[in-house]
Structures are given as C-alpha cells and as structure tokens.
Structure 1
Amino acid sequence: MKKFFSISFVLLLALSGILAGCGSDEAGGEAGKKIKIVAAHNQTSPDNPYQTGLLEFKEVAESKSNGDIEVEVHAGTIGTEESELVEKLKLGAADVVLVSPGFMTQTGIKEIDLLAMPYLFDNYEHWEKTVDGEVGEEMAKLINEKSNNDFKLIGYWSAGVRHYYGKKPLEKMEDMKGLTFRTQTSGVVADYWKKVGAIPTSIAWGELYQALQQNVVDSSENSYPYFVQQNHHKTDNGKYITETAHDYTTRFLLVNGKKFDSYSKEQQDIIIEAAEASVKAEREAVYAQEDEYKEKAIDDGAKVNEIDREPFIKLAEPLQEKAAKDMGAEDLLEKIRNLK
C-alpha cells in the first residue's frame, strides 16, 4: 500500500539555514504587504495531477494569508515546455513552477539528474523514502546553492511511473531496437535508451499526439494519467502499452529564491505550508489516477502487456554507477540503493 512520508523534515532542514537572517520583516519584506504569485506547470489538461497540486497550493496560500497572498495558476498557458518555465522562473516572470530533473540539469546542476536514472527506484515507497528523507534534503540544498538562489526547492511531486507505449508491444528488450522513441535526447536517460537500442527523439509534448498519429515517431514513454489524458493511446503508434516501469518520476516544485527571500517571514511560512499541502494533494491524485487511466486506456482499445524487467534493470545498474561517478554523486546513489 502506498504510504506518505512527512516532507516537513526535508523542507525544514533544507530551508532553515537559508531562511535564517533573510526572512525577517526587517531584512526581507513587509509584513501584511499583499503579494501575487504566478504558479505554472506545462500540462494543459484540467484533470492533470499537476493542476490538482497547484490548485491546492493556491487554496492554502490564499486562505492562510487571509487574501494577502494571491496565487494565479497557469496550466500550460505561459509555456508547455519546461525549459520555458525554468527561464521564466529565473527571470521573475513566474514565481512557482514545476520541472523535471532533466530540464534542471540544463541550468548546470548536474547531480540532480541522478533522480531521472532509469530503474533507480523499485516502487513508490522506495521513491518516497528517498525524496522525503536525507537524499531529498541534500538535493534541495544543491539546487539552492548551485543556482545562486535563483531556485529554491519547496516540494517533491510525482508524475507517476513511466511505461513504454508505441506501434507494437514489447515482448523482450530487443524489440526496441531501431524504434524512434520520444524521450530525452541527452544525458543519462538518452544514454540508457541508446544502449537498449532505441533512437531517442525530441518531440514537444504539445506536438506528440500529432507526431504519433502521423508516424513521425514510433513510440514514447510516460505514466498513464499523462499520456491517456492526451489521447496518445488512441493513435496507431501509441496503442500498445508495455509496462516497463522504468521511472518512478520526480518533479521539483520550485520558487524564485531571490523573490522568496523578499517576502515577510509570515508569508514564507505560509508558502511552505501551501507547498506541503500541494505535495500531498498531487501525489494522491497521481496514485489514484494511475489505475483509473489504465482502465480507461483498455476500455478505449489500447493493448497492455507486462514484460520481464530484469534485463532492463541489469543494463541500467552499471550506467547508474558511471553517471553517478561522472556527476560526483556516488554517495547519493549508494544512499538511494540502501533505502530499498
């Protein structure tokens, strides 16, 4: 049974040192001054778990502040690409965004790509122990310090467990050889799928339905709530789903660190409380929707099969070790493995 671990430990430890001396009304903001927060994610479906999480963030922030904090939620309306959202956050055009480790590595914080490694996690419990514990705390500090306070992590969200879907089912790992596969085209993730034999291909999320439909790409990967809500399973190149379970995904809920430090201590505390509530709401939505949207895909005619994951896992392990060594994160990898 999926279980929630308290994120207070991570957030308080990661932020306590950062907030000290910069969160008082004298040093960092006027008490009672109204602020507006632009919060954004890249998904356009109103049923997406991201939307559930940010709406919970809005509800808690606005109610706890008695209206002194206004939150404006954007569902893909100021960017459907995570790179756009990261740039807007850095420039101050957005205040809270949701991004993946892969896009964060483009900012030069290479260690966080560790969390995107295929087959790093065994199950949701393993993932939660990782992000809600010591490893999550260390990642939060790395993001803040290496971004020079451009980014401050205030919560770990999930985007579900990712599976292959494409124009044919996978019966064995070798069936991926030569398939164009929509995934990251650089970094640890791309290296892994190249080793499998696939051809990593870059397609914008908003253009993927058409790309699958028009045979531009043979296959893709994502979790049920995300690709089923976009009807990818209704295309010829998306109707076969093989449950590879290669990634229990991590998403970073980030604020603009410099702007955060300008808020009053009371406002900072409310934002952290709203972030904690959003984490719980978003994860609950993901976990519930995975079963719901798997059934919907089957009802719509998609074909689902399981596969022996052991060859995939064995291929991943040495690549994890090499990548961790290259990014100076060997100790973090060991800590994650010890939590299994």
Structure 2
Amino acid sequence: MKRLRFAFAVLVALLVIAPVFAAGSQEAAASKPMVLKLGHIQSDQDVWHKAALFFAEKVAEKTNGTVKVEVYPNSTIGNDRDMAEGLQLGSVDFALIAGVLGNFEPSLQILELPYLIENEQHLRNVIYGPIGQELFDRLLKSSNIRGLTYWERGPRQLTSNYPINTIADVKGLKLRLPEIPAMLAYWKAAGANPTPMAWGEVYSALQQKVIDGQENPIPYIHSARLEEVQSYIAMTSHKYEYVTISMSNLTYEKLNAEQQKAVYEAASESAEYQNKLVADLTDSLFKDLQAKGMKVTYPDRAPFIAVAQKVNEEFASKIDADLYKRIVAAK
C-alpha cells in the first residue's frame, strides 16, 4: 500500500509540474528568433554585402529581435538561378537578384535591354514608379517570388584584355554575360561572342583566358579585383543597373503582419543606404582601378546605340511591346 501511495503521489506531482515545463518550453520557443537566409553573388567587400548587413540589422531592430537575417555572400548558397529557385521553394528566404529573374517573369527581361535606360533619373522613374511595382506584381503572380525593393548599381562598363575604341573592336570578343536573354541578344548583334557564366566563375575564367572580357558597374569590377586579370575599361555605360531584394513568398506568409511591415520598411531603408554608398564610392573606386593599372577608353557610343535600336524593339515585341514603350517614355 505504501508503494501504491508513493507512486500515486509521484504521478500527481508529475501532472502538476508538466504544464509548468510545457509552458516554459513554449515560452523559450516563442522567444527564439526566426532565422532567415539572405544570399548574394558578390564578395563580402562589396557594397551589396554592406547594404545586406544593414538590411539584416534593420529587420532585427524593427521586429524587436523576433526575426534574424543571416547574410551569405560569394554565391555561398548558389548562383542567381539557384537562389531564385530557392525563393520559389522556400529554401532561400531573401536574395539579391537582378536580370536573371527575367527567366522566371519574362516582362523583367525588357529592363535588361542595353541602352534602353538613358540615365540614372530615367532608371529611378521606372523602378520606383508604377512600372516597377507592376513588374513586382507580375513576378509575384507568375513565380511566387516577392520583390521588396530595387537598389541602384550605376551603369555597366566593359572590361577586356585589349582596348575597345570602336564597336568594331567588340567583334569576336568572348564576353562573359549573366544568363539574361536580352543581353545575350544585344551583344551577339553587336558582334561579340556572348558567353553565359555564373559570376563566381568569372575571375578564374578571365585568369585562364577562357573569356576575354566581362561587363559590370565600377563598384563590382573593383570588389571582384578584376584589375588583376583585366587591363582595360571601356566606358560604354550600356545599361543603367538595378538589383532587387527579393523574398520567398512562402517565407513572407509565415510572418505576422507587424513582421511583414518591418521587412518592407527595412528594405526601403536599405535601398537609400545602398544607393548612397554606390553614388559616394563609384568615382573613388574608378580612380583606384586606374591607379592599379587599368587603362580607360571612351568609345563612341553612337554605333552601340544604333545596334540597340534595331535589337531592342524586336526583342520587346515578343514579350510586351506596350511595357517597352512605357519604359522608353518614362525618361
């Protein structure tokens, strides 16, 4: 009988304290932040990385620590296409991606046409106006990828192992390009030999002479240390660039309303931060590239633009001629 009374007492005690332990466990789980991944293809020295860390800091601050963003540079969690597919699956939560999203929402390909955007103000009119939001709406509907905001990157310039003084010098140039159909179509028409390649492979491909050149904004040429493997910069300014902070909609729907609002606010503030970084640093980085030995050429852009006028309208007509006209008119 004593043993029965002892066992009964233990059982009662366990029943009493079990809810206490359960409550404590639930409270600990509730206090643990949701950890989300943000990936990008640039180095940890790049302005993208600095701005991504700023975004992560703002998300933590605005969600009172309930959401933590971990940043993975250098294609650590995949190249652009890998990350875009990860956003669709929910295995990647945020990514900095630009033109490769056009493979998931075709209308975004129009923004990738060289010499479509005339200057920085024209770009801002497009990406921060109704057209930019429309493109994000289309992306969400077609791919379940949620665009949060756009960052500016400056114009793309051409680097090579020999000087580019005229469009004739581009003929046969083995030119690395991202996997973006609009850009491939243009450079093929200009006479180059376009070579799609993931960004993480570019440095070694240039070093081993697999390709002759590439094209990117000045800050990205600098952060990738391309002056070590390229001798010339041709100031073609053929494309005023952007990149998106995009988010998996599957992840977004796991957040509560306050957290969702915080993510959008953090993205908006990160755009202001990143855009200022690019504007402030581009001139000094350009001078540093020259100080390290890169020579600069200024080819006549008129023949390059003439090729674009032939290619762009035809390319856009296969996707959305009205959108193309509205982007042109937004300058």
TM, length-normalised to structure 2: 0.87
Shift of residue 71 of structure 1?
1.3
Identity of aligned residues (%): 30
Whether contact under 8 Å (2:178, 2:197) holds in the other structure is no
Corresponding residue for 2:291?
299
Aligned 1:28-43 pairs, distance under 5 A: 34-43=33-42
- Please tell me the root mean square deviation across aligned C-alpha atoms, in Å: 1.7
1:317 aligns with 2:317: no
Shift of residue 274 of structure 1?
0.5
Per-residue deviation, residues 34-66 of structure 1 (Å, max 9, x unmatched): 42221111112x221111221111111111221
Aligned 1:155-304 pairs, distance under 5 A: 155-184=149-178, 187-235=181-229, 238-304=230-296
Shift of residue 208 of structure 1?
1.6
1:144 aligns with 2:140: yes
Change (3 A) 1:33 1:234: closer
Aligned 1:14-33 pairs, distance under 5 A: none
Change (3 A) 1:90 1:197: same
1:88 aligns with 2:86: yes
Corresponding residue for 1:105?
102
Shift of residue 80 of structure 1?
4.9
Tell me which of 329, 337, 340 is aligned to 2:328: 337
Shift of residue 239 of structure 1?
1.0
Larger Rg: 2
1:84 and 1:159 map into 2 onto residues whose CA distance is: 22
> Secondary structure, in 3 states, of the residue corresponding to 1:178?
coil
Amino acid at match of 1:337: V
Change (3 A) 1:33 1:139: farther
Shift of residue 94 of structure 1?
1.5
Whether contact under 8 Å (2:87, 2:249) holds in the other structure is no
Whether contact under 8 Å (2:146, 2:246) holds in the other structure is yes
2:146 and 2:92 map into 1 onto residues whose CA distance is: 13
2:107 and 2:61 map into 1 onto residues whose CA distance is: 36
1:140 and 1:32 map into 2 onto residues whose CA distance is: 33
1:185 and 1:264 map into 2 onto residues whose CA distance is: 35
Per-residue deviation, residues 289-327 of structure 1 (Å, max 9, x unmatched): 221211111000110121211111121023211111101
Corresponding residue for 1:134?
130
Gaps of 5+ in 2: 1-29
Gaps of 5+ in 1: 1-30
Per-residue deviation, residues 137-194 of structure 1 (Å, max 9, x unmatched): 11011101111xx201101113321111101111111111111111146611111111
Whether contact under 8 Å (2:159, 2:232) holds in the other structure is yes
TM, length-normalised to structure 1: 0.84
Whether contact under 8 Å (1:80, 1:206) holds in the other structure is no
2:147 and 2:94 map into 1 onto residues whose CA distance is: 10
2:178 and 2:50 map into 1 onto residues whose CA distance is: 26
Runs of 4+ that moved beyond 3 A: 31-34
